[in-house]
Amino acid sequence: MRMIFASIIINIRSSYFSLVCFLCILILMKLTIVNKGLVPYGEALAYQKELLTKRQNEEINDTLILLEHPPVITKGKRTAEGDILLPEKTLKKQGIGIFEIDRGGEATYHGPGQIVGYLIFNLYEKQRQLKQFVANVEEVFIRLLKDEYAITADRDLKHRGVWVGDNKITAIGISIHHAVTMHGFAFNVNTNLDHFKWIIPCGITDRGVTSIKKLTGKTQDMEKLKELTGKYLVQVFGYDEVEVLHEK
C-alpha cells in the first residue's frame, strides 16, 4: 500500500514538473535576428511581407531583420508633395530608388552606412501597446549611445525617433497588419548625411540629422553596431532566447 501511495506521489510530482516546464516554454519570449548585408529596398520589402504572413500564422518567432540599403527614398503616409526636394526623374536617373510605403511618417532616406531594422513582431502578444512599443525602440538607441559612446540622446513625443540635441540619429516608422508590425528603424552610423539634402527628413524643417561617425569623428564597424543593436533590443524588450541567422 505504501509503495502504491509513494508511486502516486511520484507520478503527481512528475506530472506537476512536466506541466511547469511546459508552461515555462509557453511564456518564453523568443527572438530571431536575421543579419543581412546590402539589400535593394524592393527585395527587402518583399522579404518583410513574406515574414509578416508567417508571423501572423505563428509559423515564426518575432523577427528582427538588420541590413543596409543602396541609396533610396521612402515616402510614408504623411509625406507632403514638397518633402522631396529634387525632381524624382533626376533622382531616378542617378539610380536613387523611390518607394511609397504604408508606414507612418513622412519621407526618409536609407543608404549605405545606415543600419535599417525591420521589426516583424506580434505587437499584442505580451500586452504591448503601440506607444510603448515605439518608446521601447527609442530606448534601445538611447541606452546604446549612452553606454557604448557616452552620447546623451533623448526622445521627442512630438517627433518620434531618437535625437542628439536638435539632430535625429534614429528614425522610426511602424505599420501594423493584423496585430503584427513591419517596417521599423533607421540608425545613422556611417551614413552619408549629405544625401538627406534630397528631402525634408520626416517633414521637419527646423532640425537636422546626425550619425555616430559625425559625433565621434571615427568610421564605425557596421557589424559591431549590428551586434550591439541586437543586444540592446533583446535587453529592452526582455527576450529570453535569441537565434541569430547570417544571410547574404
Positions marked active-site: 202
Which residue has 526623374 as its cell numbers? 89
Looking at beta carbons, which pairs linking 121-127 to residues 24 or more positions away fall under 8 Å?
121/55, 121/62, 121/63, 121/180, 121/181, 122/55, 122/62, 122/179, 122/180, 123/176, 123/179, 123/180, 123/181, 124/179, 125/62, 125/179, 126/29
